[in-house]
A and B are shown apart, each in its own frame.
Chain A
Amino acid sequence: MVLQVDGLNKSFGDKAVLKDVSFQLNTGEILAIIGPSGAGKTTILRCINGLEKSDKGTIKIDGAYLCRDHNNKITYATSEEMKFIRKRIGLVFQNYNLFPHMSVMENIIEAPINAFGIPKVEAEDKALELLNIMGLTDKRDSYPFELSGGQKQRVAIARACALNPKIMCLDEPTSALDPELREGIANIIEDLAKDNMGVLIITHDMAFAERVAHKIIFMEDGKIIKEDSKDDFFNNLKDERIKRFIT
C-alpha cells in the first residue's frame, strides 16, 4: 500500500468539504475519484500533496506520515520529512502549471537539480528518457507557449515523474484535451501504473474513468458514497445519486 488516507476531515470556514474520508491506493493500481464538482475531490488531492492542511485525519505516503492524528491532535510532517514525501508523490495540475520562462528540459530538471541536488548530467539523462517515453524528444528546447495542450500535459507528467515518485496524481487529466488525445493519455497512465506507481485520478469524466481505472470512488458532498472495483462499480449502479450523476 503506497497511499493510505484515514478519517480525513477538512473545513473551509464553517463549510465542511471533507467528511471522514478514508481510502487506500496500492502500487500498480489506478484509482479514479469521481463525482460532481464541489464534492471535495480536488481538496483531497490538495491535502495529499500538502497544498492544503487537513483538520483531522491521517495521510501516509510510502510509509511516511504527511499528517497523523495523535491524542486527538493533528501533527504534520517536519520540513525534513516533507522533503522525503515530496520525492515520493507527483502531481499533474489541471492546467499543468508549467514554468513559462523555462524550456521543456529546464522544467523537468528544475526540481531534481535545485530541490534535490541531483547532478545536472544525471537529471538531463532522466529527462531525456522521460521525453522519449512521452514522444517529445524534439520539444526539449521548446517553451511551454509553443506546445499544444496535450504536449503541455505530457511535459507536466514528465516533470512530475523526474524524481521517480511512487504515487502520481492527476487532476482532471481529460478536461482540456481533444477527444482524440484521450486514448494517448490513458495509455500513458497505464504505463505509469505498470511502472509500479500508484496512480490517483480526479475526474468527472465517467467514460475516461471507466476506460482507465482499476478502482473507482464516487464522492458527493465531501463523503465517499461508493468504492468498488471498476467492473462492479459500473455493473451495479443501484445508488440513485450515482445514477443521476452518470446519466
Chain B
Amino acid sequence: MFGYIYTLLPAMIDGLITTLKVFFITLILSIPLGILVSIGRLSKIKLISKTTELYIWVMRGTPLMLQIVFVFFGLPIIGITFDRFTAVLIAFILNYAAYFGEIFRGGMESIDKGQYEAAKVLGLTPYKTFIRIILPQMFKMVLPSIANEVITLVKDTSLVYIVGIGELLRAGKIASNRDVSLIPLAMVGIIYLLLTAIFTGIFNKTERRYSYYE
C-alpha cells in the first residue's frame, strides 16, 4: 500500500501547490483589502458606506461557487476575459475581503472611544492613530475570527476545480476514479487536516504572542 501511496504523491503535491497558491495569494491580498472595506463601511460619507454595504451583501449573500462561475464563465459573455487562475483569484479575494471587512469592522467598533480621544489630545493624526493605536488592538481582538476564516479558506480552495484547475481535491478524485480506490480521497482528507492543523497552530502561537497585554 505504501508503494501505491508513493506513486500518488507527485500528482498530490502538484495539486497541493496550486491549493496553497490560491490560499496564500487570497490571504495576502484580501486582508489589506478587508481593512479598506471596513474603513469604507464605517465611512461617514454615505455614498461610500452604502456602496460598501452593498458589496458586502452581494459577496456574503451569494455562493462563492457562483462568484467563481460568474467571473470565469459569465464575464467573457460581455467581453471581459481572464485566465482560469486569475478569475479564481479575483472571486476569492473579493469574497474573502468582504468577510474580513466585516470582522475588522466589528473589531474597530469594539475599541473604546477613549482610545481615539486619548490619541487626539496627544496630537496624533487620524492616520497615525489608526496605524499605531487602533490597528494593533484590533488585530488582537479579531484574531480568533480571522483564524476561523483562514481554516474555511483552506477548504474553500477546493472550489477552484469548477474551472478545471488541478488542485488537491481534483488530483485525489482523478486518482480515485482511475484506480477505483478510496486511498487517494483519504489522502486528500489527511492533507487538508494537516494544513488546518498547521494554520491552527500558527494562530494559537500568534494569539499567545498578542497576550502580553489585556
Contact = CB atoms under 8 A, between A and B. Distances in A.
Nearest to A84: B123
Interface string B74-110: 0000000000000000000000000000000000000
Given A110-B132, A114-B132, A115-B125, A93 B118 contact: yes
Contacts of B114: 93, 95, 97
A116 interface: yes
B124 A110 contact: yes
Nearest to A114: B128
Interface string A81-99: 0010011011101010111
Interface stretch (B12-20, B58-66, B133-141, B154-162): B133-141
B2 interface: no
Interface of A: 49-51, 83, 86-87, 89-91, 93, 95, 97-101, 110-111, 114-116, 143-145, 159-160, 163
B123 A111 contact: yes
25 contacts: A49-B121, A50-B120, A50-B121, A51-B121, A86-B121, A86-B122, A86-B123, A87-B123, A91-B121, A93-B117, A93-B118, A97-B112, A97-B114, A97-B115, A97-B117, A97-B118, A99-B115, A99-B137, A100-B137, A111-B123, A114-B132, A115-B125, A115-B128, A145-B214, A160-B122
A23 B5 CA distance: 85
Interface of B: 112, 114-115, 117-118, 120-125, 128, 132-133, 136-137, 140, 212-214
B150 to A, nearest CB: 22
A144 B117 CA distance: 17
Given A95-B114, A111-B123, 12 more contacts: A50-B120, A51-B117, A51-B121, A90-B121, A93-B117, A97-B115, A99-B115, A100-B137, A101-B137, A114-B132, A143-B212, A163-B123
A100 B214 contact: yes
Looking at chain B's contact residues, is the secondary structure mostly helix, strand, loop, or mixed? helix
A163 B132 CA distance: 19
Contact of B213 (A97, A144, A159): A144
Contacts of B213: 100-101, 143-145
Nearest to B112: A97
Nearest to B132: A114
Interface centre among A99, A143, A159, A160 (most CB of B within 10 A): A99
Nearest to A91: B121
